[in-house]
Structure 1
Amino acid sequence: MSLDWPRLQRALAIETERGFCNLQGNTYRFNEYLHEALTQTPLQQLPLSVRDRWQETAAAYAHYNDLSPSQRRHLVVQTRQLLYDVHRQLTSPPPRSPSLNQALKTVKGIGDRSAAKLEKLGLYTVADLIYYFPREHIDYARQVPIGQLQAGETVTVVGKVRRCNCFTSPRNAKLTILEIILQDSSGQIRLSRFYAGARYAQRAWQEQQKRLYAPQTIVAASGLVKLTKYGLTLEEPQLEVLDRAGAEIDSLTIGRIVPVYPLTEGVSPDVIRRAVNCILPLVQGYPDPLPQSLRQRHHLIPLDRALQYIHFPPDQRELSLARRRLVFDEFFYLQLGLLQRRRQQQQQAGAPLNPQGKLIEQFYQRLPFQLTGAQQRVVAEILADLERPIPMNRLVQGDVGSGKTVVAVIA
Structure 2
Amino acid sequence: MALSFGELERMLVNEQKKCADHLVIGGLEKFINNWTGAQKQSGDANRADAIALALKGYGNATPDEREAMLTRALAALRGETESANQIEEPDDEFDADDEDEIAPTRKAAPKSEAKPARTTPVAAYGLDASITRLQTIGPAHAKKLQKLGVYTVNDLLYLFPRRYDDFSQLKTVSQLMYGEEVTVLLTVCEVFTRETRRAGLTITSVVLADTTGTIQATFFNQPFLQKQLPTGRRIVVSGRVDKDLQHLVFKQPEWEPLSKELLHTARIVPVYPLTEGITNRWLRRLVHSVVEFWASKVPDPMPEKIRADAQLPDLNTALREIHFPSTPEKMEHARRRLILDEFLAIQIGVLQQRRKWREQPGRALRVDDARIRDFLAQLPFKLTDAQDRVLNEILRDIQVTAPMSRLLQGDVGSGKTVVAASAMLIAVANGAQAALMAPTEILAEQHFKTLSSVFANLPNPPRLAQLIGSMKNRDKEAAREQIKTGAVDIAIGTHALIQESVEFNDLALAVIDEQHRFGVEQRGIIRAKGYHPHILVMSATPIPRTLALTIYGDLDLSVIDQMPPGRQEIKTKWLQPLERERAYAFIRNQVKEGRQAFVICPLIEESETIDAKAAVEEYENLRKQVYPELRVGLIHGKLRPSEKDDTMNKFRDHEIDILVATSVVEVGIDVPNATVMLIEGADRFGLAQLHQFRGRVGRGAHQSFCLLLAEKKESVADDRLRVIESTQNGFLLAEEDLKLRGPGEFFGTRQSGLPDLKIAKLSDTKILEEARGIAQDLFERDPDLQNSEHHLLAQRVREFWKAKGDLS
- Establish whether TM, by shorter chain, passes 0.5: yes
1:123 correspondence with 2:150: yes
Letter in 2 for 1:242: L
Spell out the pairing of 1:229-378 with structure 2 (5 A cutoff).
Answer: 229-242=245-258, 250-280=261-291, 281-366=293-378, 371=383, 373-378=385-390
1:180 correspondence with 2:178: no
Residue of structure 2 in register with 1:5 after alignment: none
In structure 1, what is the Cα distance between the partners aligned to 2:341 and 2:421? 39
Q: Which runs of 5+ in 2 are unaligned?
A: 1-17, 19-121, 424-808
Residue of structure 2 in register with 1:208 after alignment: 227
1:183, distance to aligned residue in structure 2 (A): 2.8
1:374, distance to aligned residue in structure 2 (A): 4.4
Residue of structure 2 in register with 1:154 after alignment: 181
Letter in 2 for 1:141: S
- Contact map agreement 2:359 2:402 (CA 8 A) in 1: yes
- Contact map agreement 1:104 1:124 (CA 8 A) in 2: yes
Please give the per-residue CA displacement for 1:256-306, whole angstroms capped at 9, x wherever unaligned: 222222223333333322222222222215331111110111121111111
Residue of structure 1 in register with 2:408 after alignment: 396
Determine helix, strand or coil for the equivalent of 1:265: coil
Determine helix, strand or coil for the equivalent of 1:300: coil
Residue of structure 1 in register with 2:165 after alignment: 138
| Equivalenced residues, count | 302
In structure 1, what is the Cα distance between the partners aligned to 2:226 and 2:216? 19
- Contact map agreement 1:98 1:282 (CA 8 A) in 2: no
1:330, distance to aligned residue in structure 2 (A): 1.0
Compared CA separation, residues 155 and 405, structure 1 to 2 (3 A): farther
Compared CA separation, residues 242 and 271, structure 1 to 2 (3 A): closer
1:383, distance to aligned residue in structure 2 (A): 0.7
Letter in 1 for 2:362: G
1:339, distance to aligned residue in structure 2 (A): 0.8
1:223 correspondence with 2:239: yes
Residue of structure 2 in register with 1:99 after alignment: 126
Please give the per-residue CA displacement for 1:42-70, whole angstroms capped at 9, x wherever unaligned: xxxxxxxxxxxxxxxxxxxxxxxxxxxxx
In structure 1, what is the Cα distance between the partners aligned to 2:190 and 2:396? 83
1:98, distance to aligned residue in structure 2 (A): 7.7
TM-score, normalising length: structure 2: 0.34
Please give the per-residue CA displacement for 1:349-382, whole angstroms capped at 9, x wherever unaligned: 3222223344421343245665555443322111
Compared CA separation, residues 157 and 358, structure 1 to 2 (3 A): same
Determine helix, strand or coil for the equivalent of 2:288: helix
In structure 2, what is the Cα distance between the partners aligned to 1:283 and 1:407? 53
Letter in 2 for 1:180: V
Letter in 2 for 1:157: V
Compared CA separation, residues 207 and 312, structure 1 to 2 (3 A): closer
- Contact map agreement 2:363 2:402 (CA 8 A) in 1: yes
In structure 1, what is the Cα distance between the partners aligned to 2:263 and 2:202? 24
In structure 2, what is the Cα distance between the partners aligned to 1:155 and 1:175? 27
- Contact map agreement 2:168 2:267 (CA 8 A) in 1: yes
In structure 2, what is the Cα distance between the partners aligned to 1:117 and 1:297? 41
Determine helix, strand or coil for the equivalent of 1:395: strand
- Contact map agreement 1:110 1:278 (CA 8 A) in 2: no
- Contact map agreement 1:167 1:206 (CA 8 A) in 2: no
Larger radius of gyration: 2
Identity of aligned residues (%): 41
Please give the per-residue CA displacement for 1:136-192, whole angstroms capped at 9, x wherever unaligned: 2222222223333344432211123344322222x2231111112333344433211
In structure 2, what is the Cα distance between the partners aligned to 1:268 and 1:304? 26
TM-score, normalising length: structure 1: 0.64
Compared CA separation, residues 115 and 371, structure 1 to 2 (3 A): closer
Compared CA separation, residues 393 and 147, structure 1 to 2 (3 A): farther
Determine helix, strand or coil for the equivalent of 2:202: strand
Determine helix, strand or coil for the equivalent of 1:396: strand
Compared CA separation, residues 242 and 270, structure 1 to 2 (3 A): closer
Residue of structure 2 in register with 1:190 after alignment: 216
Determine helix, strand or coil for the equivalent of 2:392: helix
In structure 2, what is the Cα distance between the partners aligned to 1:339 and 1:283? 30
Letter in 1 for 2:290: I
- Contact map agreement 1:134 1:311 (CA 8 A) in 2: yes
Please give the per-residue CA displacement for 1:321-356, whole angstroms capped at 9, x wherever unaligned: 111111111111000111111112112232222233
My pick for the range that moved more, 264-273 or 250-259, is 264-273
Compared CA separation, residues 375 and 185, structure 1 to 2 (3 A): farther
Compared CA separation, residues 219 and 360, structure 1 to 2 (3 A): same
Determine helix, strand or coil for the equivalent of 1:284: helix
Compared CA separation, residues 347 and 191, structure 1 to 2 (3 A): same
